[in-house]
Amino acid sequence: MSDVMYVTKETLEKMRGELQRMKTVDRPAASRAIAEAREKGDLKENAEYDAAKEAQGMLEAKIAQLEGHLAVARIVDTSSIDTSKVSILTKVTITNIATKKTVTYQIVGEKEADLKAGKISVNSPIGKGLLGKTVGDVAEVQAPNGLIKFKVENIAI
């Protein structure tokens, strides 16, 4: 997991808050659930105990994953972004050459991707295809249904 993950300052703060909540609220709650289940008798036939232990294991895995993400996270400052070419955090307006449909996407890090909000991951096929392109360039993106060509219409912040 040595790949750098680019995030905005807001997303980094959200990740830190989520980790803090998991450690201070969720972890003690999981321990209490295990203790309560343990008090109910024989652990060999105690489904509640097994479920509580499994939930605790899943929580610990989430905590470890989030800590890993935070370890490789790098903040991208919007004031230092070059809009002459497509890069992370730029908003790029593209036209599908085949369908003539125009859409605007913001290229973001993996943790911030949200297609409904118009944010696509820098690691997605379209994101990778658009990186480094300038206005007027045609990006060729390999999709499951074949090659799609997009013309870069505009790049902004």
Determine the distance from the C-alpha atom of residue 16 to the mean position of all C-alpha atoms in its chain, rounded to a whole number: 14
Tell me the domain boundaries of the chain.
5-75, 78-156
Instruction: Report whether pLDDT(138) > 50.
Output: yes
User: Residue 44 — very low, low, confident or very high, per pLDDT cuts 50/70/90?
Assistant: confident
Using the Cα atoms of residue 129, residue 133, residue 135 and residue 138 in order, give the sign of their dihedral.
negative
Tens digits of per-residue pLDDT, 72-90?
888 877 777 788 899 888 9
Average predicted confidence (pLDDT) for the chain? 89
Tell which wins on pLDDT, 78 or 112. 112
Give the pLDDT band (50/70/90) at residue 67. Answer: very high
Task: Evaluate if residue 43 carries a pLDDT over 50.
Answer: yes
Distance (Å, whole) CA 153 – CA 103: 10
CB contact at 8 A, 66 and 12: no
CATH 3.10.50.30 for domain 78-156, yes or no, is yes
Least confident of 41-45, 63-67, 81-85, 88-92: 41-45
pLDDT-derived band at 54 (thresholds 50, 70, 90) equals very high
- Where residue 92 falls among pLDDT bands split at 50, 70, 90? very high
Q: In CATH, what class is 5-75?
A: mainly alpha
The pLDDT value recorded for residue 1 is 40
Helix residue ranges, H only, 22-74? 27-38, 47-72
- The pTM assigned to this predicted structure is 0.68
Which tens digit of pLDDT belongs to each residue from 97-107?
Answer: 999 999 999 99
Q: Helix, strand, coil shares of the chain as percentages rounded to 5?
A: 45, 25, 30
pLDDT (0 to 100) of residue 17 = 96
